[in-house]
C-alpha cells in the first residue's frame, strides 16, 4: 500500500504515466502476493508460517511463544502494540490532499495548509486513542472507518473550497486535479476495505514470542481457531518448556 501511495505521488506532476510509477505499482502487487499467508505448520516445537500466493515462496519459523490471544479479547493497549505499524500508511493517505497541494501549487499561502492539517491531526489522535483503549479489534476497525470517512469528507470539501479561492474557479473545471483527489480518497477506502475484509473473513489469532515479536494468523472459523490454539499450546509452547 505504501508503494502505491509513493507511485501516486510520483506521478502527480507528470502528464503521462511514467515507467517508475508503473514499476512501483507492479512491485506493490508482487509484495502483496508475497505477504499472503498460505498455511501454518507445527514442527518439533516450532510454528512455521508459510507465505506466498499462489505458490509457497518462503517460510518463517516462530519459537519461544509466550502468548496467544484472540483479537476480540485483548488487554488494554494491545491493539496499539500489535498494529501501530498500520498508522504509517493510514497517516500517509490522510495527508495525500496536503501533499498534492504542496507539489502542484507550491505558491499557495501557508495559512491554507493549516486547514488541511487540523482534521488529519485530529483523526490521527482519535485513532491512537482508540488503539490504546479498545479491547475488541473489530470495534476498533469499525470506529476507524468512521474516522476515515469523516476526515476524507472534510478534506474533500476543504480542497474544493481552497481551490476555488486560489484559482478563482471550481475544482470540477480541472478534471486532472479532481481525478487525483478522487484517486487519493479511493486509495484510502481500498486500504480500509482490505483491512476490514481480512479482519472479518475468519478468526484472527495473535501469537507473541519471547523477543516481543508478534504475528497475526487468520483461521477460517471458530473451530479452526480453537484447533490452532490447542496445537500451539500442546505442540509448541509445551515443547519449549
pLDDT at position 78 is 80
pLDDT, residue 101, reads 67
The whole-number pLDDT of residue 160 equals 81
Q: Cell triple for residue 219? A: 483461521
Largest CA distance in the chain: 71
- CB contact at 8 A, 236 and 42: yes
Q: What is the pLDDT of residue 240?
A: 60
Average pLDDT over residues 84-88: 76
| pLDDT given for residue 20 in this prediction | 66
Q: Model confidence over 183-216: pLDDT tens digits?
A: 767 777 777 777 777 666 667 788 888 877 877 7
Q: How far apart are CA 170 and CA 191, in angstroms?
A: 29
Closest CA to 217 of 48, 14, 12, 1: 48
The structural domain count of the chain equals 1
Mean pLDDT (the chain) is 75
Q: Write out the DSSP string of 15-29.
A: SS--HHHHHHHHHHH
Per-residue pLDDT, 192: 74
Residue 13 has pLDDT above 60, yes or no: no
Domain that holds residue 154: 64-240
Q: Is residue 29 over pLDDT 80? A: no
Using the predicted structure, report yes or no on whether residue 173 has a pLDDT greater than 80. Answer: yes
- The mean pLDDT of 150-178, rounded to a whole number, is 79
pLDDT at 103: 67
Any domain includes 19: no
Percent of the chain with pLDDT over 90: 0
pLDDT recorded at residue 9:
61
pLDDT value at residue 237: 74
User: In the chain, pLDDT over 70 holds for what percent of residues?
Assistant: 75
Any domain includes 23: no
35 in a domain, yes or no?
A: no
Tell whether 39 is covered by a domain.
no
In a domain, 211, yes or no: yes
Q: What is the mean pLDDT of residues 154-182?
A: 78
Residue 185 lies inside a defined structural domain of this protein? yes
pLDDT at 34 over 60: yes
In order, the DSSP letters of the chain are: -HHHHHHHHHTTT-SS--HHHHHHHHHHHHHHHHT-EEEEEEETTEEEEEE-SSS--EEEEE-SEEEEEETTSPPTTHHHHHHGGGHHHHHHHHTHHHHHHHHH-TTS-HHHHHHHHHHHHHHHHHHHHHHHH-S-HHHHHHHHHHHHHHHHHHHHHHHHHHHHHHHSS-GGG-HHHHHHHHHHHHHHHHHHHHHHHHHHSSEEEEEEETTS-EEEEEESSHHHHHHHHHHIIIIIIHHH-
Q: Which residues contact 72 (CB under 8 A, 6 or more apart)?
A: 136, 137, 138
Return the C-alpha cell found at 96.
495525500
pTM reported for the whole predicted model: 0.65
Structural domain contains residue 88? yes
- Give the pLDDT confidence of 89-136 residue by residue, as tens digits: 777 766 766 676 666 666 666 666 777 777 878 888 888 888 888 887
Query: How large is the average pLDDT for residues 53-74?
Result: 77
Amino acid at each position: 500500500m505504501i508503494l502505491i501511495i509513493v507511485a501516486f505521488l510520483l506521478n502527480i506532476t507528470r502528464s503521462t504515466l511514467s515507467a517508475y510509477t508503473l514499476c512501483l505499482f507492479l512491485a506493490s502487487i508482487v509484495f502483496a502476493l508475497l505477504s499472503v499467508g498460505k498455511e501454518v505448520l507445527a514442527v518439533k516445537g516450532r510454528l512455521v508460517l508459510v507465505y506466498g500466493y499462489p505458490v509457497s515462496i518462503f517460510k518463517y519459523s516462530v519459537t519461544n511463544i509466550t502468548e496467544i490471544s484472540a483479537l476480540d479479547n485483548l488487554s488494554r493497549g494491545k491493539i496499539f502494540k500489535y498494529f501501530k505499524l498500520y498508522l504509517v500508511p493510514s497517516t500517509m493517505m490522510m495527508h495525500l490532499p496536503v501533499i498534492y497541494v504542496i507539489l502542484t501549487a507550491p505558491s499557495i499561502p501557508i495559512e491554507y495548509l493549516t486547514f488541511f492539517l487540523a482534521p488529519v491531526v485530529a483523526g490521527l489522535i482519535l485513532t491512537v486513542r482508540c488503539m490504546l483503549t479498545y479491547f475488541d479489534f473489530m470495534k476498533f476497525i469499525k470506529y476507524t472507518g468512521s474516522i476515515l470517512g469523516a476526515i476524507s469528507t472534510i478534506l474533500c470539501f476543504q480542497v474544493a473550497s481552497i481551490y476555488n479561492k486560489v484559482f478563482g474557479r471550481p475544482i470540477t473545471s480541472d478534471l486532472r486535479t479532481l481525478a487525483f483527489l478522487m484517486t487519493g480518497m479511493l486509495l484510502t477506502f481500498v486500504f480500509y476495505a482490505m483491512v476490514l475484509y481480512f479482519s472479518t473473513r475468519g478468526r484472527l489469532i495473535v501469537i507473541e514470542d519471547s523477543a516481543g515479536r508478534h504475528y497475526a494468523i487468520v483461521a477460517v472459523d471458530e473451530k479452526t481457531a480453537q484447533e490452532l490454539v490447542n496445537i500451539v499450546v500442546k505442540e509448541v509452547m509445551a515443547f519449549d518448556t
